[in-house]
Amino acid sequence: MPRIGFPELAIILVIALIIFGPGKLPSLGKSVGETIKEFKKASSELMNDNKKEAKDEVKGAETKAEVKTEETKNKK
């Protein structure tokens, strides 16, 4: 995957400056930053939910195994 270096970033900044103008550029940057922050927060919450569900499934499986073991002991 190609990397973006300083010359490429400078060209992108100049193009953005031409398209949006110097007045809107700070608000555009703020909006992009907030969007990235929200995306990271949502992906982090999703990962935590997945980890919690996996732990709950493991606990459920362990509990079922313990119940079966106790039933087997009681039958003998």
- Residue 11 confidence (pLDDT): 93
Stretches in the chain below the pLDDT threshold 70: 1, 64-76
Q: What Rg, from alpha-carbon coordinates, does the chain have?
A: 26
- Residue 13 confidence (pLDDT): 87
- Residue 69 confidence (pLDDT): 66
C-alpha atoms less than 13 angstroms from C-alpha of 58 in its C-beta half-sphere: 6
- Residue 22 confidence (pLDDT): 86
0.95 cut: is pTM over it? Answer: no
